Amino acid sequence: MGMTMTQKILAAHAGLEKVEAGQLIEADLDLVLGNDITSPVAIKEMEKMKVDGVFDKDKIALVPDHFVPNKDIKSAEHCKCVREFALRNEITNYFEVGQMGIEHALLPEKGLTVAGDVIIGADSHTCTYGALGAFSTGVGSTDMAAGMATGKAWFKVPGAIRFRLVGKPKEWVSGKDVILHIIGMIGVDGALYKSMEFVGEGIQNLTMDDRFTIANMAIEAGGKNGIFPADETAIAYMKEHSSRNFTVYEADADAVYDEEYTIDLSELRPTVAFPHLPENTKTVDEIKEDIRIDQVVIGSCTNGRLDDLRIAAKVLAGRHVAKGMRCIVIPATQSIYMQAMEEGLLKTFIEAGAVVSTPTCGPCLGGYMGILAEGERCVSTTNRNFVGRMGHVKSEIYLASPAVAAASAVAGKIICPCRL
């Protein structure tokens, strides 16, 4: 009986020839990640452990991104705690305001995540790095503390679901539509504690930004992680961004999967997740009623990358945000912000009546930069639309791609860009 991609990576990091689903292992870590919300808790737990420093100052990344620039005294105190810990322990990969970005867009850009890695992060969307062929997963702050102290973590080896992607997406269909389609198909617990492994010739028709988006939202299906094979596109990305060595793992031909699905990308349509779960999906063709909205957010660790901004700008060019609408664009990193500026994308957004924010998670988790009032509706390119996620418990969030979000900003209601 063979192993999946995830199982091979975990076996290698546990020093074992073979692992099976359900097996408990201790694995060496290549990177431990924390942000300004989760790191202070981990730091306090580490202090209780009374350890002498961190296991490796080069293998820890601290990224204040949720409430930065600081929105209030409490967020300032959290960031101060992280900053002082980073300085005290000479953490190599600490990213201050001006260098930081949204963590899950920043770390691949900085070359800190590569194929074959085992990565834990005290943030549920740490599964993003599976787009590069790494095993990466979110953990609690206590596990982050143990990881920073020892460089190891315990795992129960996950079973796996294989998603075979075939075909080529049509215009206006992106990675966000792919993962929303899958979550709508299997449900928010359809991959509970499973590895979501994406294979097939259709992958070659997905950009790296598409893949990051798909892996990012594996957790929204309950997945332990999402992972793609490291093909030529992924290898080219890693060589451009990183000087680290990487290891490409492929699943064995006789690897065991709990379930298998085939997704024809050419049949997908732009998809929207209705309140209040990511599984409540409809294609734009299935939306018959006019759903008037108050706000659009284009950004987040899911869809704040350059491809996302380019497609949003393509839709908004020569058009204007509907009267009474708010459209907030948040580039995911400083580098993406700079590139968008050089390409004229920011000018397009501003001329269309949108506002552009410094990189931050912002409104995604109800932080700031776009909180919703009672009764307001928002189309957002973020990853969760739970009750009260972005503000008032009686507000509503509709998850969509940057293309649909931008078109909806123009129309003042949920609409496909093909209908503008």
* Residue 371 pLDDT: 94
Q: Class of the 5-264 domain?
A: alpha beta
Q: In this predicted model, what pLDDT tens digit does every residue of 156-169 receive, in sequence order? A: 999 999 999 999 99
pLDDT bracket for residue 202 (50, 70, 90): very high
Does the pLDDT value for residue 319 go beyond 90? yes
Tell me if domain 5-264 and domain 272-419 are identical in fold: yes
**Domain map of the chain by residue range?**
5-264, 272-419
DSSP-assigned letters across all residues of 26-82: EEE-SEEEEETTTHHHHHHHHHHHT-SS-S-TTSEEEE--SSTTT-SHHHHHHHHHH
pLDDT bracket for residue 50 (50, 70, 90): confident
Does the pLDDT value for residue 1 go beyond 90? no
Domain topology for 272-419:
Aconitase; domain 3 (3.30.499)
DSSP-assigned letters across all residues of 206-234: S-HHHHHHHHHGGGGGT-SEEE----HHH
- Which is nearest to 302 in space by CA: 182, 181, 190, 177? 177
Q: In this predicted model, what pLDDT tens digit does every residue of 137-190 receive, in sequence order? A: 999 999 999 999 999 999 999 999 999 999 999 999 999 999 999 999 999 999
Torsion of Cα atoms, 12 then 18 then 24 then 30, to 10°? 10
Q: In this predicted model, what pLDDT tens digit does every residue of 120-134 receive, in sequence order? A: 999 999 999 999 999
